[in-house]
């Protein structure tokens, strides 16, 4: 079972491990701690509980978003490979979208590698539309980013 909850300090080591698993330029524990302490940032974790181990939670994924002056930008969405295709990314995105609306955002936007077809399909399913291109945005490997935006 997946539950979406606000990220806490105790989640940071697992989230940092997730960053290293999923991204070529991962955020450090210090960066995550700094973001968690900044009121303009919103972080959620997807926790997986097992029927065999009730009460024992494991971070399955996380999402982080920056909101300022009515603009909300999803910086990261990541799910551990063994937890993918179980609804964690969708649940995280829906929670971030709800939070952006709650904070009075006019839209929520994000960047995605142009080769990440699976993520783009998810974003489009949730109502995001392609809004632009950032040439050579990503490194390791160098790749363009597509900008996707959901207007409220």
- 53 vs 89: CA distance, rounded Å: 23
- Burial 9-29, CB ≥16 within 10 A → b, else e: eebbebbbebbeebeeebbee
What are the boundaries of each domain within the chain?
2-151
By C-alpha distance, which of 40, 31, 49, 35 is closest to 7?
35
Mean pLDDT of 27-49: 95
Q: Which helix (H) or strand (E) holds 20?
A: helix 12-22
Per-residue model confidence (pLDDT) at position 79: 96
Topology, domain 2-151: Aminopeptidase (3.40.630)
- 119 vs 130: CA distance, rounded Å: 12
Read off the pLDDT of residues 77-91 as tens digits, 9 standing for 90 and up: 999 999 998 999 999
Catalytically annotated residues:
111, 123
Q: Which helix (H) or strand (E) holds 101?
A: helix 88-102
- 140 vs 29: CA distance, rounded Å: 20
Q: Which residues lie below 8 Å from residue 126, measured CB to CB, with a gap of 6+?
A: 90, 93, 94, 97, 150
- Say what the pTM is: 0.92
Read off the pLDDT of residues 108-135 as tens digits, 9 standing for 90 and up: 999 999 999 999 999 999 999 999 999 9
């Amino acid at each position: 079972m997946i539950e979406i909850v606000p990220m806490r300090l105790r989640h940071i080591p697992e989230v940092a491990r997730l960053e290293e698993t999923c991204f070529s330029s991962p955020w450090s524990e210090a960066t995550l701690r700094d973001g968690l302490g900044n009121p303009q940032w919103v972080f959620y974790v997807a926790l997986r509980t097992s029927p065999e181990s009730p009460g024992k939670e494991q971070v399955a994924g996380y999402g982080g978003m920056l909101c300022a002056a009515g603009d909300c930008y999803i910086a990261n969405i990541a799910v551990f490979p063994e937890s993918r295709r179980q609804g964690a990314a969708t649940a995280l995105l829906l929670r971030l979208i709800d939070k952006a609306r709650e904070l009075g955002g006019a839209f929520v936007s994000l960047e995605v590698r142009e080769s990440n077809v699976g993520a783009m399909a998810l974003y489009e399913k949730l109502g995001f539309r392609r809004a632009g291109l950032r040439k050579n945005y990503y490194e390791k490997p160098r790749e363009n980013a597509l900008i996707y935006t959901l207007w409220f």
